[in-house]
């Protein structure tokens, strides 16, 4: 009887012990599950603002200078940036992929230079809906989504290039244009600024052809050669960006037309600087790419702090040629 009682007590004690252990493990499992479902940890006081900067490309020195300006501002304002873009300025789909990837990281703000001002709007709307401020740079967007645009006044800059071309060819004759694209605000602005100034102010100058080379110097070379061969009396060609302008110079060199056709360019990478110094290019418009990058990041930080940001941030432009290329003013804005 005693033995039976002892076995019964031992069994009861063992059961109580097992139930207690199960209860303890169950509470621990519930706690762990809660931790897994809590989502990402909130930003700490030490977390930096993150701003992805998405450019039109990387192949031109212009974009490297924009990047340098953005990095300068990031350091000054203690924020984190990334600088990315497609390999060249014809890859609209690639740029949209980069924009989507940036949105997936839930950034604080975005800097964006649109290759196609229409194609990007649905993605920029996603940013707006998520409360992510968008700062456009270099090339604006046909939308009120960006709260600011840091850029050159491309229309006015191209009009100045037209005035210089007119002076250089004696205000009469046939000229052509090689433009990087017709889908971006930049491309359209430079095309229209040059073309409309010529048509309005110089009735004795005729624009015989406008071609689009995607900013690629090889394609622009072929297009410029075709214009020259189709118009034997051509007196000048305007190249609306770095790749376009160098393509025009290459075409003239290959066809041995040096000194016979005036080249006016836009931007100021090393190949253009060398071409101006050698006389292959008469002159060009330079932007302020470092300033564009700097002002883009600065505007994003101001917006995130709730400060007032001007909707249009004019970063300026300058004409340069042999006469002023070594001046302090021009050295500060060209990007060798």
Query: pLDDT 10s per residue in the chain (336 long)?
Result: 444 444 444 444 444 444 344 443 333 333 333 333 322 333 434 578 999 999 998 878 899 999 999 999 999 999 999 999 999 888 999 999 999 999 999 999 999 999 998 999 999 999 999 999 999 999 888 889 999 999 999 999 999 999 999 999 999 999 999 999 999 999 999 999 999 999 999 999 999 999 999 999 999 999 999 999 999 999 999 999 999 999 999 999 999 999 999 999 999 989 999 999 999 999 999 999 999 999 999 999 999 999 999 999 999 999 999 999 999 999 989 876
Say which residue the tokens 């900013």 belong to.
Answer: 215
Domains of the chain, each with CATH number or no CATH: 50-152+289-316 (3.40.50.2300), 154-286 (3.40.50.2300)
| pLDDT, position 59 | 76
For residue 56 the two structure tokens come to 């039109």
Enumerate residues 6+ apart whose C-beta is below 8 A from 192. 155, 158
Closest CA to 239 of 177, 318, 192, 153: 177
Cα angle, residue 206 at apex, residues 202 and 211 outer, rounded to 5° = 125
Q: Please, how many CA atoms are within 13 Å of residue 27, restricted to the half-sphere of its CB?
A: 5
Handedness of CA 320, 117, 201, 199 (dihedral sign): positive
Q: Contact, 317 vs 285, CB < 8 A?
A: yes
What is the DSSP-derived secondary structure letter of residue 29?
H
User: 266 pairs with which residues across the strands?
Assistant: 285
For residue 299 the two structure tokens come to 């505007």
Packed helices 92-104 and 121-129: angle between N→C axes, nearest 10 degrees: 10
Q: Contact, 119 vs 92, CB < 8 A?
A: yes
CA dist., res. 101 & res. 248, Å (int)? 36
Looking at the chain, the number of H-run helices and the number of E-run strands are 11, 12
Q: Contact, 241 vs 83, CB < 8 A?
A: no
CA dist., res. 309 & res. 39, Å (int)? 33
For residue 333 the two structure tokens come to 């804005």
For residue 165 the two structure tokens come to 């071309």
Q: Is 286 helix (H, G, I), strand (E, B) or coil?
A: strand
What is the DSSP-derived secondary structure letter of residue 40?
S
For residue 322 the two structure tokens come to 């042999």
- pTM (2 d.p.): 0.78
Could you tell me if residue 173 is left (phi over 0), alpha (psi between -120 and 50 degrees) or otherwise beta? left
């Amino acid at each position: 009887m005693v033995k039976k009682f002892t076995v019964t007590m031992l069994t009861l004690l063992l059961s109580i012990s097992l139930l207690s252990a199960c209860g303890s493990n169950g509470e621990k499992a519930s706690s762990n599950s809660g931790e897994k479902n809590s989502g990402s940890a909130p930003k700490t006081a030490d977390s930096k603002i993150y701003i992805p900067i998405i450019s039109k490309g990387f192949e031109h020195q212009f974009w490297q200078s924009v990047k340098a300006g953005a990095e300068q501002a990031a350091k000054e304002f203690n924020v984190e940036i990334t600088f990315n873009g497609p390999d060249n300025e014809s890859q609209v789909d690639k740029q949209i992929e980069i924009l989507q990837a940036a949105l997936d990281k839930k950034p604080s703000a975005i800097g964006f230079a649109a290759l196609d001002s229409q194609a990007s709007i649905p993605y920029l709307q996603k940013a707006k809906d998520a409360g992510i401020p968008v700062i456009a740079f270099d090339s604006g967007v046909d939308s009120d989504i960006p709260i600011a645009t840091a850029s050159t006044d491309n229309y006015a800059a191209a009009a100045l290039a037209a005035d210089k071309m007119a002076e250089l060819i004696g205000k009469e004759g046939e000229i052509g244009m090689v433009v990087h694209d017709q889908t971006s605000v930049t491309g359209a602005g430079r095309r229209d600024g040059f073309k409309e100034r010529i048509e309005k102010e110089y009735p004795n100058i005729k624009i015989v052809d406008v071609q689009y080379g995607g900013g690629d110097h090889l394609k622009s070379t072929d297009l410029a050669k075709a214009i020259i061969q189709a118009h034997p009396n051509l007196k000048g060609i305007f190249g609306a960006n770095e790749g376009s302008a160098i393509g025009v110079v290459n075409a003239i060199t290959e066809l041995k037309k040096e000194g016979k056709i005036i080249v006016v360019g836009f931007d100021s990478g090393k190949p253009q600087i060398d071409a101006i110094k050698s006389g292959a290019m008469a002159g060009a418009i330079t932007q302020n790419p470092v300033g564009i990058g700097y002002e883009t990041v600065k505007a994003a930080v101001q917006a995130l702090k709730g400060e007032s940001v001007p909707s249009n941030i004019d970063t300026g432009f300058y004409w340069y040629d042999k006469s002023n290329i070594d001046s302090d003013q021009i050295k500060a804005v060209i990007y060798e």
